Structure 1
Amino acid sequence: MAGDTHPPYRTLEEDGSITGIDPDLQALLSKQLGVPFEIQTVSGMEAILTGMNSGRYDAFNGPLRTTPEREADFDAIVWMTTITSYVYLAERADELSDPEALCGSRVAGVSGSVTESQLARYADWCTAEGLSTPEFVGLEDTNSTFLAVNSDRADYAGTTQTAALDLQAAEPDRYEFLVQSEEQGAGIDQLALVTPKGNGLAEPLFAAFEAIFENGEYEDLMKEWDLTQVAVDEPLLNPLTSK
């Protein structure tokens, strides 16, 4: 499994171990399949997707938005949703807490991620309101986007709502965030575990997901990580191209 650093999905601890939602989910899937999972840390979405296509990695659990174009190259198993959020320093709340403030601002995000496409929709809203469009600052991983905000290389860090909540919980006095509204182009995107077409893993992985939904372990996992607001009723395999 390829995996970049993206708390609370994957957090690289001081001892080199990886904790988070993803390894916990992998443990449940491993129990169903009877095979071990190993996370290999990779920086950058392009490197992850290229590595899967070359056979270096068998799968990646995002957070990654599924699209018809992506499902042409990868099998996607949707197991949660998300809404894009924009993190900023609490000390700048007076100037950045208004949704219109994001227009014309610098927004750091992971290149190729859902944030980049969501920000483009936000930019359309800004234009319709007669405001300047935001500038996307593409970076390799989520930690880099938060560091950009801390160092004033960006005003906001665009990320999943899950990551924004996790960051604010860890440092409640340091960060606040905006949630992109439906009016501003936010859709509740479907997030998926992806695996290359033809490697034979999609069907057994999907069956393993179905099993942990049925036995209640998925629900328990989402409650443990306080993710019930982005949980789904059932896993979906290639939902945008299978119809």
Structure 2
Amino acid sequence: MNSKVLAPALLAAALFSSPSLAQDAKIPVQTADATLHAKLPKEIRDAGEMITVNSGSFPPYEIVSDTRSMSGASADLAHALGEVLGVKVKHESVSGLSSLLSGIKSGRYQFAIGPVGDFPERQAANDFVDWVQEYVVFAVQIGNPKGIKSLADTCGLKIAVQSGGSAERVIKQQATKCTEEGKPAVEVQSFPDQPTSILAVRSKRSDGFFSSQAPLTYFVQQSNGQLELAAVGQSNGFDDLFQGTVVPKDSPLGPVILEGYKKLFDNGTYATIMKKWGLDNNMLKAPGINLAGKRPQ
């Protein structure tokens, strides 16, 4: 086991498991699609399983309790997708998003259920089967004591981000902009995962955590009134932000996963899973490949 992954994973499981979500929602059992199964790469058909990799807990999508088990919306989606494709889906963890993306690019892992941010620069090495639209905001201490209303308000503040993610890139650009304008730079605090980042805010070592709105909403709900969201409804350095499942560039697995998702969208399973985990506002009307830079049809 990778202790660097397991330690924060246990923090997430202990601190952020959520009995308030609709855990009793019934997710329909899927019928295997023989045509899609036949389109899977031979090594997957022969093994009868696919291995998806994650970079640690990303609630409420991925809640990692150890290096080979996971709950959350992504776990439910992975299970349903496996049923549609007629294979089992197993989970493995690595430390950090960079390790996840490089592992997918190299072919070490077949795919990452995600969702992982889809950006044109990432599409050069990987393909994204997008199934989420996301927004990037701040989790701050209750009352928003530093007055963060937009990205521009972060000059001179200590801002936590997940290492290797798109938010880290944007906040570093903002730090440069602050100094160019003669203001104090942002102190960028990069952490390996979401739970460690949010704990930095709860302990007041960070003034805010800059990340995706869906997991931050989840963390705020579980903070016993210690945290709130800030800069909601602002672009905060991002255009339309799509997230999805990652496969190696031009992998034949991508189109098969897309067709599997289409079935789950069409039969209502996707909506059931998203609503179960409080993700109504992050739903797409239809999945798509590499939606970054283009609007979904």
TM-score range, shorter chain: 0.7 to 0.9
What are the residue-to-residue correspondences of 1:66-77 with 2, within 5 Å?
A: 66-77=118-129
CA–CA separation in structure 2 for the residues paired with 1:183 and 1:70: 20
Aligned ranges 1:75-90 → 2 under 5 Å:
75-90=127-142
- Change beyond 3 A, Cα 1:159–1:184: closer
- Summarize deviations over 1:210-239 as a string: whole Å, max 9, x none: 111111111122221221211111111123
The structure 2 residue matched to 1:94, chosen from 133, 137, 145, is 145
Relative distance call for 1:14 and 1:79 in structure 2 (3 A) is closer
Normalising by structure 2, we get a TM-score of 0.72
Residue pair 2:131, 2:244 contacting (<8 A) in 1 also: yes
2:28 corresponds in structure 1 to none
> Structure 1 length normalisation: TM-score?
0.87
Unaligned runs of 5+ in 1: none
Larger Rg computed on CA atoms: 2
Aligned counterpart, 1:52: 104
- Per-residue deviation, 1:124: 7.8
C-alpha distance in 2 between matches for 1:237 and 1:125: 33
After superposition, what is the alpha-carbon deviation per residue over 1:24-82, rounded to whole angstroms, capped at 9, x for unaligned?
11011111101111110211111111222232211113332212221121111111111
- Could you tell me how far apart the structure 1 residues matched to 2:222 and 2:289 are? 34
Which structure has more RCO (C-alpha within 8 Å, separation ≥ 6)? Answer: 1
Query: How far does the alpha carbon of each residue in 1:72-99 deviate from its partner, in whole angstroms, 9 at most, with x for none?
Result: 2111111111111211222x63334554
After TM superposition, list the pairs within 5 Å mapping 1:19-34 onto structure 2: 19-34=71-86
C-alpha separation in 2, matches of 1:180 and 1:187: 14
Instruction: Decide whether the 8 Å contact of 2:149 with 2:231 is kept in 1.
Output: no
Contact 1:88 1:96 in 2 (8 A): no
Report the 3-state secondary structure (helix = DSSP H, G, I; strand = E; otherwise coil) of the residue aligned with 1:7.
coil
SS of the residue 1:6 aligns to: coil
Partners of 1:81 and 1:191 within 8 A in 2: yes
| One-letter amino acid of the counterpart of residue 23, structure 1 | A
Q: Which residue of 2 aligns with 1:233?
A: 285
In 2, Cα distance between equivalents of 1:149 and 1:242:
35
Percent identity between matched residues is: 26
Question: 2:190 corresponds to which residue?
Answer: 138
2:158 pairs with 1:103: no
Matches within 5 A, 1:119-138: 119-120=171-172, 131-138=183-190
Q: How does 1:1-20 map to 2 (within 5 A)?
A: 1-3=52-54, 4-13=56-65, 17-20=69-72
> Given that residues 81 and 230 in structure 1 are in contact (C-alpha distance below 8 angstroms), is that contact kept between their aligned partners in structure 2?
yes
Q: 1:210 to 1:107 in 2, by over 3 A?
A: same
Change in Cα spacing, 1:223 to 1:46, as seen in structure 2 (3 Å) is same
Residue 198 of structure 1 and its aligned partner are, at CA, apart by: 4.2
Confirm or deny: 8 A CA contact 1:121 1:186 kept in the other structure. Answer: no
d(CA) in 2 for partners of 1:112, 1:229 = 25
1:87–1:156 CA contact under 8 A, matched in 2: yes
What code does the residue aligned with 1:40 have?
Answer: E
Distance of 1:172 and 1:221 partners within structure 2: 25
Any gaps of 5 or more consecutive residues in structure 2? 1-51
What is the distance in 1 between the residues matched to 2:170 and 2:89?
Answer: 31
